[in-house]
Structure 1
Amino acid sequence: MADQTTFIAFLRAVNVGGRTVTMERLRALFGELGLAAVRTYIQSGNVFFSADSGVDRAALTRRIEAHLSQALGYQVPTVLRTVDELAAVLAADPFHEVEITPEVRLCVVFLSEPPPADLALPLRSPKGDLEVIAVTPGEAFVVARRLAGRAPANPATVFGRTYRGHGTSRFFHTAAKILAAARKG
């Protein structure tokens, strides 16, 4: 039997905007793809599963997205990370100098494609509610601020329409909880 790796599927558009799917159904859908040890974490589209270590990740992502789209009737952009990759994201912690206030949320956006090559940091949204303070080839670290009592825009949209990939965001502290749950496997 090939070595197995635990993957975390970060799903976008699950249980938001009237698109509801139970975690039981989500686990079943991943099981239908032949993935092993399928588990979910909270209702926001975080799925753990095992697959062969040498699996073609891009092909697996396309299979998951196609299956979810067919079964649910809408697109579910998916970004895969291994447990070790998520641990490295959290260890990078570019937020250590950000002052935390009730208006500030720290977010990591998991990207399907690298961020724009000419990205100048920090990148601020026109309204000033989002600020990208660091990037890796697979993530953007975003400080989201409530302005005048209003929630910030979705951090996953920070690069605008010119970005050729997609992203899905999680609060930084939630990403740490996701990692801990994935490790419990």
Structure 2
Amino acid sequence: MEKKIAILRGINVGGKKKILMADLKSMFEGLGYSEVLTYIQSGNVIFTSENHITETEMAEAIEIAIKNKFGFDVPVIVLAAKEIQNTFKNNPFYGATDTDISKLHVTFLADEPEIELLNKIQALDFSPDKFDIIGRTVFIYCEGKYHQSKLTNNFFESKLKTSATTRNLKTVKKLCELSQ
């Protein structure tokens, strides 16, 4: 059995796409997952899977289940617990002596970006905000508030042609702790 983390995009934000965490947990259990644990209302689910399917296939099954149960579309990204733990450890902006953890965010991508798209986006400069893309992960440093930055889910989705969802580094750290 392997620990997984599902990260849902855009639920319980501004009163839209409301899902109670107890209902989400129940839905995951109904899909055959065990040791289901939710963390905060923004759609973070830690679970154990015995399924021998890929994370992409899991995400698609969860998206279908959410549509069937709650009646709306929610993009889902599923990661192995080890992957999110490596994401936290390998953050290029974390650990600098002058870095405030509240300024750090991680955008998770559904797919690894194509090289051409990656080259185009890496040529862009949004100083003082910065980003670095490694695999399916975008590491973000925002000098101000994240919601004021141009480095949003919509920005990365349009430039990289894949689904994305973002969490602050404090949430990523907690998901690492809960998934051990």
2:69 is aligned with what amino acid? A
Percent identity over the alignment is: 25
1:174, distance to aligned residue in structure 2 (A)? 1.6
Match in the other structure for 1:12 = 9
**Aligned AA (1:131):** K
2:148 matches 1:151: yes
Q: 1:64 maps to what in 2?
A: 62
Q: Which has the higher helix share?
A: 2
Query: 1:39: Cα distance to partner?
Result: 1.0
1:43 corresponding residue in structure 2: 41
**TM-score with structure 2 setting the length:** 0.84
More strand by share: 1
Tell me by how many angstroms 1:12 deviates.
0.5
Structure 1's 169 and 72: CA in aligned 2 closer, same or farther, altered over 3 A? same
Flag the 1:100–1:39 CA change in 2: closer, same or farther, 3 A: same
What SS does the aligned partner of 2:148 have?
A: coil
Q: CA deviation at 1:101?
A: 5.7
Q: Structure with the greater relative contact order (CA < 8 A, sep ≥ 6): 1 or 2? A: 2
Question: 2:174 maps to which residue?
Answer: 177
Q: Which residue of 2 aligns with 1:52?
A: 50
Of 138-147 and 116-125, deviating more is 116-125
**SS of residue matched to 1:161:** helix
For structure 2, which runs of at least 5 residues remain unmatched after alignment?
none
- Cα deviation, residue 123, structure 1: 3.8
Q: Indicate if the aligned counterparts of 1:123 and 1:131 stay in contact, CA closer than 8 A.
A: no
Residues matched between the structures, number: 174
The structure 1 segments of at least 4 consecutive aligned residues displaced by more than 6 Å after TM superposition are: none
* Distance apart, 1:164 and its partner CA: 2.0
| Unaligned residue ranges in structure 1 (runs of 5+) | none
> TM-score scaled by structure 1?
0.82
Which amino acid is 2:27 matched to?
L
Q: Deviations for 1:94-140, whole angstroms, at most 9, x for unmatched residues?
A: 003484369x6211111101134132436435xx57532x2122111
Residue pair 2:33, 2:50 contacting (<8 A) in 1 also: no
CA distance in 2 between partners of 1:122 and 1:174 (Å): 29
Q: Is residue 135–residue 141 contact of structure 1 (8 Å, CA) maintained in 2? A: yes
Say whether residues 1:34 and 2:6 are aligned partners. Answer: no
